[in-house]
Structure 1
Amino acid sequence: MDNTLLISSKLVKSGYQYLERNWASIINLGICKKVAEDVSGLVYDNYRDITIEPFLGGKLAIYGFLKDGRRIRLGDLGEGVQNYIIARILYELENPKVLLWDDIEAHLNPRMLLNIAGWFFDIVEDDNQVIITTHSLEAVRTIAGINEEKAVIYLTSLEKGALKTKKLTLKEIEEFSEAGIDVRVAEPLLL
């Protein structure tokens, strides 16, 4: 795939390491300041920038630099905030045509998920693609609801090595739900 970025909570540590190795070329691009300001709307702190500074034993750590001068180590924030910050910096740095995000709902509160849905809308409006995986119908409703015209939802199942898919609309998912059918459980009947 042409210039693709995969985000997964399992890969956040690798994302940290990538940022540490490339920090000298990242710091003056203005990306971290932009991401810090965006994150301020999601948490109860007011971030001015994101920096890398020495921590215990001379190791480097990523910090959120607050407007009041305090610093909060990224590792001390919730995993959802960590994942989002790393994802945003990597996305802004690499500017991929395709963003893949595995288990989008992992560690995210509803407000963050709504903000990410808005970000995805902007990405799609710029003629890029966003592909997510989730087991959460709430995540599907939130993300597809932001841009229902462009959202494509697939129910998938892997059976005996064969991938089965069914394309659904948000309206169809809602209709199944109103009828008491959870599409995640009813996949053998739907596929």
Structure 2
Amino acid sequence: MPFVRGLEINGFRGIKHSEGSIPLKKFNVIVGRNNSGKSSFLRALLLFPDPILQASSYSDLFLTHGSVWEGMVYRYRGKCVLKYATDLGELTFTLEYFGANTTAGAKAEFSFGGVERQEINLSPPQQTVFLKPLTYSTYEDRKYLKRLFKEMDPQQAALSHTLYVAEPSESLLLNSWPELELRNFHVEIAREVSKCVSDSFTELSIRMNEVVLRKMSDGVPFYVRFSDQGKGVQFLVYSMALIKLNSPTLVLWDDFGSYMNPSLVKQILEYLAKSSFQVVLTTHSIDVILELVEVEPEDSQLLQFEKDGRDVLHHRTLCLDEIKDLLDSNQDPRKLATAVGI
């Protein structure tokens, strides 16, 4: 069951507004031209349900245009409103940015269904780390949000854990190594990697403070540096480690399929499809679409995005059967959004 059922955007990044709420299923693949709003849509989902928890996850979002707040708001000034449709009701995130030199500064607030609104006051941004400009207690704000959602539904004590797959990080693997090894993830990940590469790895390991993959060559163990692997394999190892360590509710992956052979694309799609979390991917790769119809994830769709000259985000949804029909008629779903003028 999808966790976020829809998202309506007003005044976020390069999007003036979306044409209504954009529906989401459990497994979603988004296509569209460059600058059509795909990445901005993922970044809006990344803010769900609270944009104040992890500085490392959000710093690039808020610093995109050289300022903590203005890069989030359409045309760098004004009001941004994001409305998330969930099974528990509608969550609204509002951010107003008036400029760093004004007395008003910036302010953000959350509202959820009929629950009393919680406002978080923000000082004018002075530093480059997202959490720093927040006044008073970020920890208290976080506790409030978790308590708010817990009161709404005891089954949703930790309402959402959104995971954004970014560039592979060897340091994250090193820092997380004790837990990876304790829970046997270092072996599970190596087995998954071996299914789609020419090597047969037995485990991830640490040697000389580097992450390595262990393989057997003529009965003798050999250790291949993680940093020497191709980008596709690095993404597979890194994403699986992130997912296994964090047990997310929602996984976001921008530009999925880059650096990947079709067999690797299929391997990762199969892994994501059999998991319980919700998935939202963006891609420019036809291989991703071809493998999507082969894997046939449950409750899946293709979203075609197109942003018009007024910066309004339009969308169209296609089910797997419709995608297959297009491919059978030699039509490229990546180009169709532009062709039909949605």
TM-score between the two structures when normalised by the length of structure 1:
0.83
Amino acid at match of 2:300: A
1:43 maps onto 2:192 in alignment: no
User: In 2 relative to 1, CA 30–158 (structure 1 residues): closer, same or farther, beyond 3 Å?
Assistant: same
The CA deviation at 1:28 is: 1.8
Conserved? CA contact 1:145–1:170, under 8 Å: no
2:190, 2:204 within 8 Å by CA — same for their partners in 1?
A: yes
C-alpha distance in structure 1 between counterparts of 2:296 and 2:188, whole Å: 24
Gaps of 5+ in 1: 55-59
Matched residues in 1 for 2:215 and 2:175: separation? 24
Looking at structure 2, the residues matched to 133 and 162 of structure 1 have their Cα atoms a distance apart, in angstroms, of 19
* Residue 166 (structure 1) aligns with: 316
Match of 1:142 among 285, 291, 316: 291
Query: d(CA) in 2 for partners of 1:144 and 1:5?
Result: 24
| 1:157 to 1:64, Cα distance in 2 relative to 1, 3 A | same
Specify the SS of the correspondent of 1:184.
helix
1:97 is aligned to 249
Greater C-alpha radius of gyration: 2
Give the aligned partner of residue 151 of structure 1: 300
1:31 corresponds in structure 2 to: 185
Is the 1:118–1:146 Cα contact (8 Å) retained in structure 2?
yes
Matched with 2:176 is: 22
Residue 333 of structure 2 aligns to a residue whose secondary structure is coil
CA displacement 1:122-146 (0-9 Å, x = unmatched): 11xx3x2111111123312312431
The CA distance in 1 between the partners of 2:176 and 2:230, in whole Å, is 24
- 2:257·2:283 contact (CA, 8 Å) conserved in 1? yes
Structure 2 CA distance for aligned equivalents of residues 143 and 80 of structure 1? 18
1:3 CA displacement: 0.6
Map of 1:75-114 to 2, 5 A cutoff? 75-114=227-266
| TM-score of the pair, normalised by structure 2 | 0.49
d(CA) in 1 for partners of 2:194, 2:165: 21
Deviation string 1:138-158 (CA, Å, 9 cap, x unpaired) is 312312431255211100122
Provide the secondary structure at the position in 1 that maps to 2:307.
strand
Deviations 1:76-107 (A, max 9, x none): 11110111011111111111111111111101
Q: Could you report, residue by residue, the CA deviation over 1:42-65 in whole angstroms, capped at 9, with x for unpaired residues?
A: 2222211101222xxxxx321001
Q: In structure 2, what is the equivalent of residue 69 of structure 1? A: 221
What letter is aligned with 1:145?
E
1:131 is aligned to 2:280: yes
**Could you say what secondary structure the match of 2:236 adopts?**
helix
- Secondary structure (helix, strand or coil) at the match of 2:232 reads helix
Over 6 Å off, 4+ runs: none
The count of aligned residue pairs is: 179
Whole-Å separation in 2 of the counterparts to 1:144 and 1:176: 11
Distance 2:191 2:331 in 1: 41
Is residue 270 of structure 2 the alignment partner of residue 121 of structure 1?
A: no
SS in 2 for 1:187: helix
1:175 offset after TM fit, Å? 3.1
- Structure that is richer in helix per residue: 1
**Aligned mates of 1:42, 1:176 — CA distance in 2:** 28
What amino acid is the match of 2:283?
Answer: T
- Counterparts of 1:43 and 1:180, CA distance in 2: 30
Aligned match for 1:7, one of 154, 165, 180: 165
Q: What residue identity is the alignment partner of 1:170?
A: L
Relative contact order: is structure 1 or structure 2 higher (C-alpha 8 Å, sep ≥ 6)? 2
Q: How far did 1:17 drift?
A: 2.0
CA RMSD of aligned residues (A): 2.0
Instruction: Compute the displacement of 1:174 (Å).
Output: 3.5
Instruction: Tell me the residue number matched to 1:57.
Output: none
